[in-house]
Amino acid sequence: MSNVPENAPQHCPGTQSQDAGKASACAGCPNQNLCASGAANLPDPAIDIIKNRLSNVKHKILILSGKGGVGKSTVTSLLGHGLASRNPDVNVGILDADICGPSQPRVLGVNGEQVHNSGSGWSPVYVTDNLSLMSIGFLLGSPDDAVIWRGPKKNGMIKQFLSEVDWGELDYLLVDTPPGTSDEHLSAVQYLSKAGLTGAVVVTTPPEVALLDVRKEIQFCQKVNVPIIGVIENMSLFVCPNCQTRSEIFPATTGGAPQMCTEMQVPLLGSLPLDPLLARCCDDGRDFLQELPNSPAVQALKAILEKIVTTCESTSQ
Ligand code: ADP
C-alpha cells in the first residue's frame, strides 16, 4: 500500500514525493529515471481492468485472519455453501487467493478439476449450480509449487486472478486471502478496495495469541478504509457428542473475540463450535450444511449468514 517500491534504497522518498528520482538516496537506484519522469506515480492500469471485470459482482467480501490454521478457509467454504443454499437465485463465487496453501478445491470437493480459458477469460469451476470456484490450486502442476514463489510472482497471480476470471453475474464473491499482512494479502486488498469492497469478515480462534494478530489485521483494514462486516470466533467450544459436556479446547483467557470486538468497536457475527465431523467433511470435500443440517455448527452458521446478508443489503441501498 505504500508508495515505496519493492527493493527501494533505504531512504527512498517514495514515488509520490516531489523528490522522487531526485533525492540523494535515489542515486544508483534502477528506478531513478522512471521516478524522475513521474511515470512511476501513474495509477496501475490493472486497477481499472479489475474494477471493470468485477463490475457485475454485487458484494465483494474479503475473508481474513491474523494467523493460519484458525479456520479461515473452512469458514469461507461454509459461507459459500450457506449463501448459495439459502437462496438458489443468488450466485456465489469463491476466489481462493491463498496462494501458499490453496485448500478450497479439496474442501469444496472439486480437486483435480480443469479450468478453461476462453476469449472472455478463465471459467471458474462450478461446485453447485450457483456456487463457483477459482483457485490457484487448479493452475498449479503440484500443490507444493506456489510455496517457492517470490512476492512479485504471487502479486502477478493475484492481479491475474482478479482481472481474468469470467465470473458472469455474481451476488457474492468471497475472497479467501492469504493469512496476515503478507505482500500478496496487501495486493488483494489494494486491488479489491479500488473495485468497491463491501467489507471484510475476520476469522479468529479465542486464545490471545490469535487475537493479537487479528487486532493488527483489523487496524490494517481500518487504515486502508476496508469496512469490517464482523468477526467470527471459530472453534470456540467443543460439545461432546456423547455426554454433551462443553469444553473450551482453545480457552479465551482474555475474553476471546466478544471482548476484543467490544474494545475495537467492530461487530461480532457469532461463534462456531469445534466439530470433528466438520473437519472430516472438509477433508472429504462434502457439504457439511447438507450432511449435518441440525448440528450446532450449522445453526450458528445460519445466524451468522443472516447478519452478513443484512449488512450487505444495507450497504447496497
Ligand atoms: P486456515 O484457512 O485459517 O489456515 P483451515 O480452514 O484450513 O484454516 O482449518 C484448519 C483445520 O482446522 C482444518 O483441518 C479444518 O478442517 C479444521 N477446522 C476449522 N474449523 C473447524 C471447526 N469449527 N471444527 C472442527 N475443525 C475445524
Domain ranges of the chain: 1-42, 45-315
Measured from CB, residues less than 6 Å from any atom of ligand 1 are 65, 68-74, 103, 234-235, 272, 274-275, 278-279, 282, 297
Number of Cβ atoms within 10 Å of the Cβ of 228: 22
Ligand 1: residue whose CA is nearest its atom 10: 69
Ligand 1: residue whose CA is nearest its atom 4: 69
AA identity, residue 299: Q
Q: What cell was used for 155?
A: 502479486
Using the atom order of ligand 1, give the atom closest to the CA of residue 103: 7
| Substitution candidate for ligand 1 out of 64, 70, 74 with most atoms within 8 A of CB | 74
Bridge partners for 37 per DSSP: none
Ligand 1: residue whose CA is nearest its atom 12: 71
Bridge partners for 202 per DSSP: 64, 231
Q: How far is the CA of 66 from the centre of ligand 1 (A)?
A: 14
Q: How many Å separate Cα 315 from the centre of its chain?
A: 19
Ligand 1: residue whose CA is nearest its atom 13: 279
Q: How far is the CA of 198 from the centre of ligand 1 (A)?
A: 25
AA identity, residue 279: A
**207-213 own/partner pairs: CB under 8 Å, 24+ apart:** 207/250, 207/251, 207/252, 207/253, 208/253, 208/254, 209/67, 210/66, 210/67, 210/70, 210/250, 211/66, 211/254, 211/256, 211/257, 211/260, 212/66, 213/65, 213/66, 213/67, 213/180
Residues 51/63, Cβ–Cβ less than 8 Å: no
Ligand 1: residue whose CA is nearest its atom 26: 279
Write down the pTM of the prediction: 0.86
pLDDT tens for residues 113-164?
A: 888 888 888 999 999 999 999 998 887 766 566 556 666 677 787 888 888 8
Q: How far is the CA of 71 from the centre of ligand 1 (A)?
A: 4
* Residue-wise DSSP of 117-159: EETTEEEPEEEETTEEEEEGGGT-SSTTGGGG--HHHHHHHHH
Residues 88/125, Cβ–Cβ less than 8 Å: no
Q: What cell was used for 1?
A: 500500500
Q: Could you give the 3-state DSSP secondary structure of residue 95?
A: strand
Phi and psi at 287, nearest 5°, equal -80, 105
Using the atom order of ligand 1, give the atom closest to the CA of residue 65: 3
Can you tell me the distance from the alpha carbon of 36 to that of 193, in angstroms, rounded to the nearest whole number?
28
Using the atom order of ligand 1, give the atom closest to the CA of residue 272: 23
Residues 154/184, Cβ–Cβ less than 8 Å: yes
Give pLDDT, residue 60: 95
| Substitution candidate for ligand 1 out of 282, 288, 289, 298 with most atoms within 8 A of CB | 282
Residue bearing cell 469470467: 166
Can you tell me the distance from the alpha carbon of 48 to that of 40, in angstroms, rounded to the nearest whole number?
17
Q: Could you give the 3-state DSSP secondary structure of residue 5?
A: coil
For the chain, helix (H) and strand (E) counts, in that order, are 11, 11
Ligand 1: residue whose CA is nearest its atom 23: 274
- The reply to whether CATH 3.40.50.300 applies to domain 45-315 is yes
Can you tell me the distance from the alpha carbon of 313 to that of 130, in angstroms, rounded to the nearest whole number?
19
Q: What cell was used for 139?
A: 493452475
Ligand 1: residue whose CA is nearest its atom 20: 71
User: Would strands 228-239 and 121-123 be described as parallel, antiparallel, or unpaired?
Assistant: unpaired
Q: How far is the CA of 132 from the centre of ligand 1 (A)?
A: 21
Ligand 1: residue whose CA is nearest its atom 15: 279
Using the atom order of ligand 1, give the atom closest to the CA of residue 67: 3
Give pLDDT, residue 4: 60
Q: Could you give the 3-state DSSP secondary structure of residue 59?
A: strand
Can you tell me the distance from the alpha carbon of 313 to that of 67, in angstroms, rounded to the nearest whole number?
29
Q: Which residues of the chain have pLDDT under 50?
A: 1-2
Can you tell me the distance from the alpha carbon of 99 to that of 104, in angstroms, rounded to the nearest whole number?
11
Q: How far is the CA of 277 from the centre of ligand 1 (A)?
A: 11
Q: How far is the CA of 39 from the centre of ligand 1 (A)?
A: 45
